[in-house]
Structure 1
Amino acid sequence: MTDYLSVSALTKYIKYKFDQDPHLQTILIKGELSNFKKHTSGHLYFNVKDDNSVINATMFRGNASKLSFTPKEGDEVLIEARVSVFEKRGNYQLYVNKMQLDGIGILYQRLAELKDKLRKEGLFDDINKKPIPQFPSSIAILTASTGAAIRDIYSTLNSRYPLVKQEYISTLVQGKQAKDDIVAKIEQADQLGVDVIILGRGGGSIEDLWNFNEEEVARAIYNCQTPIISAVGHESDYTISDLVADVRAATPTHAAVLATPDQFELMQQLKQVQLSMTRQIQQIIKQQRKRLDYLASYYKFKTPSLLYDQQIQRRDELEKQLNLNLKMKLTQARQDLRLVSQKFNLRYLLNDIKQYKSHAARYQQVIVQRLRQKLANHETQLKNKVELLNNLSPTNVMLRGYSIISKDEQVVTSVDQVSKGDQLNLSMKDGNIKASVEKVGKNDE
Structure 2
Amino acid sequence: MDALILSRIQFAVNVSFHILFPVINIALAWFVVYFRYKAGKTGDAGWLAAYRFWTKVFAVTFAIGVVSGVTMSFQFGTNWPGFMEKAGNIAGPLLGYEVLTAFFLEAGFLGIMLFGRERVSQKVHMTASVIVAVGTSISAFWILALDSWMQTPQGHWIDAEGVMHVKNWLEVIFNPSFPYRLTHKLLASALTASFLIIGLSAWQILKKTANSATPKVLKTGLTVAAVAIVLQVFAGDAHGLNTHQYQPAKLAAIEAVWHTEKPAPLTLIGWPNEQTQQTDYAVKVPYLGSLILTHSMDGEIKGLSEFADKPPVAPVFFAFRVMVGVGVLMLLVSWYGWYRFRKTRWQPQQLPKWLLYTFAGMTFSGWVATLSGWYVTEIGRQPFLVYGVLRTEDAVTKMVPSENIGLTLVMYLVLYSAMLLSYIMVLKYMAEHPEHDAHETGRLKAEER
Range into which the TM-score falls when normalised by the shorter chain: under 0.3
**Comparing both structures, which one devotes a greater share of its residues to helix?**
2
**Larger of the two Rg values belongs to structure:** 1
Q: Which has the higher contact order (CA 8 A, sep 6+)?
A: 2
* Bigger fraction of residues in strand: 1
